[in-house]
Structure 1
């Protein structure tokens, strides 16, 4: 498994596995895929440098370049050993095992097919590679330094990777997708950064001495459930009585975290389920009707101040990290909004997409803390950031700034807001006054309960375009392992809503 630890000892030209989010798509790269040496045709496939004799016949092939980073906000419990990943990868991609055994044969077949394709062109001798993005007509600000073209990683210990994809349709992978790649590592830590083997376009996109390259043989898109410790629910876990037992354990845990506030714990459970159901049932959550995201359930817990946040807020953050694969926290203060780079921006000087805080993977849970927000003035950046967060909350879309135009990119994030009064910046779907009765000792949820909870949404539900109450009712049914909405669960939701409104009076 390629990560910031293993990169120190993994040798180049080794078969490795890498997991990450596609942070930028660098277009297609043309290279001398096949060349004739005497009477024999050879290939430069899975190699960074195209080597061929001067004056030899050659064929130009192309590959896609994807800049990938570790999933932003990925929690430590989702990481597992190389042996575990090997076993799970082989189990889930059994249909590809025979393909891997025939890699050499397929390479020969693809080369033969490439030689017979008429669109291929001859490449000039000495021109190792070129990029499709090089032909784009964009303004340039001169030659950037090697370090300045590399977007900031998610943390100091994270490892980005330039993945080169072969023979895969462009629709197969898109921006912000999380994927697992198996391929050949060509990272050379001792490479000369001024090496003439790299063309100008290549060095601008990603120099090998800074970022490892992986020539992908096979890949698969990952959903949130692929980060769980169990690949599937057991037969017993699909029984409603088992769901009820899991629900009771989790409710006891959440209620204790929230100072015995049972109503807040109920709404928090529904909020978390509205995100988890998307993991297994994409049609349930965040379907868009007339540009409105239906099925989301953002939650605003109010009556929280700085003191109570130091107790309950900290405990709740830690608890969500133990339950959810991807979590992030954003402080809603004047200073932060006025200075933060929340949305991704295109840098035409380097032809790269500079990441923002909210360039995240689907299934990410965001906590927004408004308890330290004091009176002040938002500058132009702060106003844009506030609009961006509001649009993310209401429409589940993030605005990407391409300098000459802006484009909205769909995402899937659940958002929990902490504030003293009802938030004006983040108008959540549900506002619940927080009323703890006591401060309980910090509890530790059992690994069995946590694992069962992460998978409870797998076997329930169907698409339903509904109002907020129906969304809550659906989530209530899911929490009990039911596939249909019963009168009992509907009445439970109505009673929960009545108690919430009483608190708001």
Structure 2
């Protein structure tokens, strides 16, 4: 069977066989990717893929999985199904029996998925080049003879449906549904898309999930395969009397703007880097690429190699384990003593390179205006019965750059104070607070924060590095930027991009012998000076990052020593 042109009915009849076929990666990747293709070129009720983050979860939806269709003579009946589709179709001379012996009512879960937030343009471009299809025919959804009706509407009394019978020139009968009048309040497109940060190319889908829905957690990233549902009749869906106008429009947006996808399968995405394949970068190659990256970042850090090294470790950090309410592996970094230039903005120029190297990142100028106006905490909107997104609703490994140099004198209002608290909580605990008005819930996050400031940041951090710029680099920073761009030729740039993702994927462990060595070292440190348990924890996190930065999956004495030297050098600067 041609799985790419399979219909929902064919899938329903041979689901076990087709799900097994779909495990083939080559076949999976042949399915059109909605993220990079125009919606009007995609066929209704055909398989599509969508990569996205779970932004919201709606309540369960009830539908007719099976129902009986009776012919006009009242003698013949046929069992049909409504799985993997929004619209059921029947001829004008047929009637639906929802209570027949073969009728089955089921439920499916509904989720809102959005394009992965903060994904950088180079990654989007590579994905588009790889998966954008050409010469796709425009889909056609006009059906002149068949009657169409949303399956959920069939749960209501048949007598309530408004149908007009018309005669055409050939005395053939056709049935059309009278559209409901438009709601009095028209919600904005921005409201319907509900992105955490503005995204002109982003897309939103409503997912209908039939199995394994419990795997889909808020803010997790997945790739979905399912049947596209974009029939215009969905825009004329019968209004639910239990919903107000805003809620109805929010949950039933025009399919031309927010298509529905009836999922048949989905896979978790461990990363969003289109350059990283199943072939791993060797540890020898990782060491070489790390040295090249260190050269570039040392120049951008104005000749400060220690700050450059810490920046590398920050860029490959992630929460690898949660234990006893602690997020192990987080490595938020505060670089202070950031210089000011007359014609250049150091932080913004640095961010341009971070944006160029990392797959996902977001820059936030912590100006008084931004802090007082922007929404940092996702909030439940009970009027539209949905979760309104915010800046901190990000997927794992999204690099968040906070520019504290933009914070000027003034007063933070209540929103600004709450924003600072939300940022501090996310940095310190890797948790984001969600506001449900009557109560608040914390959700885990994994956002590496880089805070750039003149003095020590007002926000917490795991590591504070005082930048030690070289005078010559300060005088020639403009030329350094040009040289760095020239140095990062496309081949090296892509290797660094692969390196930063590959380091995060290294499986890491500590042997018993190394554990004993670390314990002895820590005892000696305690005897030599004021060293706390937190210092040991920070050293272990740093040593792990030193290790995986070189592609090593087991901590050795060399990496441990290097971590100790780096920490000693960093702390000396803070006492000057």
Smaller-chain TM-score bracket: 0.7 to 0.9
The structure-2 alpha-carbon separation of the partners of 1:206 and 1:76, relative to structure 1 and needing over 3 Å to count, comes to same
CA drift of 1:63 comes to 1.1
CA distance in 2, matches of 1:308, 1:357: 30
CA drift of 1:341 comes to 0.6
1:172 — aligned with what? 215
State the secondary structure of the residue aligned to 1:314. helix
CA drift of 1:323 comes to 2.3
2:509 — aligned with what? 462
Contact conserved, 2:36 with 2:128, CA < 8 A, in 1? no
Aligned partner of 1:432 among 449, 459, 465: 465
Matches within 5 A, 1:14-93: 14-38=46-70, 39-50=77-88, 53-56=95-98, 57=100, 58-79=103-124, 80-81=126-127, 84=130
- Specify every segment of 5 or more residues in structure 2 that has no aligned partner in the other structure, as ranges: 1-32, 71-76, 133-153, 162-182, 516-533
CA drift of 1:394 comes to 0.3
TM-score norm. by structure 1 comes to: 0.80
CA distance in 1, matches of 2:541, 2:159: 58
Deviates more, 1:62-71 or 1:493-502: 493-502
CA drift of 1:415 comes to 0.4
CA drift of 1:470 comes to 1.1
Contact conserved, 1:399 with 1:407, CA < 8 A, in 2? yes
The structure-2 alpha-carbon separation of the partners of 1:383 and 1:36, relative to structure 1 and needing over 3 Å to count, comes to same
Contact conserved, 1:32 with 1:50, CA < 8 A, in 2? no
The structure-2 alpha-carbon separation of the partners of 1:448 and 1:286, relative to structure 1 and needing over 3 Å to count, comes to closer
Deviates more, 1:38-47 or 1:310-319: 310-319
1:99 — aligned with what? none
The structure-2 alpha-carbon separation of the partners of 1:196 and 1:360, relative to structure 1 and needing over 3 Å to count, comes to closer
Per-residue deviation, residues 437-495 of structure 1 (Å, max 9, x unmatched): 20224324322343234313333413899611111111111122222322222222222
**Alignment RMSD (CA, Å):** 2.9
Contact conserved, 1:151 with 1:354, CA < 8 A, in 2? no
1:233 counterpart = 2:279: yes
Aligned partner of 2:188 among 147, 160, 173: 147
Deviates more, 1:351-360 or 1:241-250: 241-250
2:405 — aligned with what? 371
The structure-2 alpha-carbon separation of the partners of 1:169 and 1:5, relative to structure 1 and needing over 3 Å to count, comes to closer
CA distance in 1, matches of 2:128, 2:262: 19
CA distance in 1, matches of 2:159, 2:129: 41
CA drift of 1:326 comes to 1.1
Contact conserved, 1:146 with 1:207, CA < 8 A, in 2? no
State the secondary structure of the residue aligned to 1:335. helix
Contact conserved, 1:254 with 1:265, CA < 8 A, in 2? yes
2:17 — aligned with what? none
The structure having more radius of gyration, on CA atoms, is: 2
CA distance in 2, matches of 1:159, 1:170: 21
CA distance in 2, matches of 1:360, 1:316: 22
The structure-2 alpha-carbon separation of the partners of 1:355 and 1:449, relative to structure 1 and needing over 3 Å to count, comes to closer
1:113 — aligned with what? none
State the secondary structure of the residue aligned to 2:469. coil
2:259 — aligned with what? 212
CA drift of 1:377 comes to 1.4
- Specify every segment of 5 or more residues in structure 1 that has no aligned partner in the other structure, as ranges: 87-121, 130-141, 276-284
1:395 — aligned with what? 429
CA drift of 1:266 comes to 0.9
The structure-2 alpha-carbon separation of the partners of 1:9 and 1:123, relative to structure 1 and needing over 3 Å to count, comes to closer
Aligned partner of 2:567 among 484, 497, 501: 497
2:303 — aligned with what? 260
Per-residue deviation, residues 344-366 of structure 1 (Å, max 9, x unmatched): 10000110100001100011110
Contact conserved, 1:369 with 1:419, CA < 8 A, in 2? yes
Aligned partner of 1:221 among 259, 268, 277: 268
The structure-2 alpha-carbon separation of the partners of 1:175 and 1:494, relative to structure 1 and needing over 3 Å to count, comes to same
The structure-2 alpha-carbon separation of the partners of 1:264 and 1:43, relative to structure 1 and needing over 3 Å to count, comes to same
State the secondary structure of the residue aligned to 2:407. coil
State the secondary structure of the residue aligned to 1:455. helix
Contact conserved, 2:434 with 2:441, CA < 8 A, in 1? yes
CA drift of 1:179 comes to 1.0
CA distance in 1, matches of 2:343, 2:443: 32
CA distance in 2, matches of 1:147, 1:30: 28
Per-residue deviation, residues 212-239 of structure 1 (Å, max 9, x unmatched): 1111121111121x533131234xx334
Contact conserved, 2:380 with 2:437, CA < 8 A, in 1? yes
Aligned partner of 1:411 among 445, 455, 460: 445
2:531 — aligned with what? none
CA distance in 2, matches of 1:344, 1:421: 30
CA drift of 1:327 comes to 0.5
